[in-house]
């Protein structure tokens, strides 16, 4: 919980001009359904259903994509670039 709070505060400070964007991204990427032990934020691979832990730099780059016009409504909308980062870090 402490780490999550720190990450949120971090994002809040970095994107203080766009609080609703970071809130939406953090909220969407919160690990649920069912939650795993990697969280608090995960990307669920729509194909393999596997969870990939999202660190604050992943969340930050997602927020930047959203600011650039990406529509992020589901985990299917995660850009290829971020998926590749997550796959690479997994290995």
Size of the site for Zn ion (CB under 5 A): 6
Q: Is-contact 66 21, C-beta < 8 A? A: yes
Q: Considering only residues 42, 54, 62, 86, which one is a binding residue for Zn ion as defined by CB under 5 A?
A: 42
Q: Determine the Cα–Cα distance for residues 59 and 15; give it in Å rounded to an integer.
A: 12
Interacting stretch for Zn ion, rule CB under 5 A, among 1-9, 33-41, 55-63, 66-74?
33-41
Decide if residue 59 touches Zn ion (CB under 5 A).
Answer: no
Task: For the chain, count helices (H), then strands (E).
Answer: 4, 2
Q: 37 vs 91, which CB is nearer to Zn ion?
A: 37
Decide if residue 36 touches Zn ion (CB under 5 A).
Answer: yes
Decide if residue 31 touches Zn ion (CB under 5 A).
Answer: yes
Strands (E), the chain: 42-44, 51-53
* Tokens coding 63: 């927020």
Residues of the shown chain interacting with Zn ion in the complex, contacts defined by CB under 5 A: 31, 36, 38-39, 42, 51
């Amino acid at each position: 919980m402490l780490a999550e709070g720190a990450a949120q505060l971090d994002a809040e400070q970095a994107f203080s001009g766009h609080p609703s964007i970071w809130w939406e991204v953090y909220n969407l990427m919160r690990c649920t359904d069912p939650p795993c032990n990697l969280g608090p934020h995960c990307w669920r691979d729509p194909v393999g259903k596997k969870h990939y832990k999202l660190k604050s730099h992943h969340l930050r780059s997602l927020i930047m994509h959203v600011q650039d016009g990406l529509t992020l409504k589901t985990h299917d909308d995660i850009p290829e670039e971020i998926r590749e980062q997550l796959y690479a870090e997994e290995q």
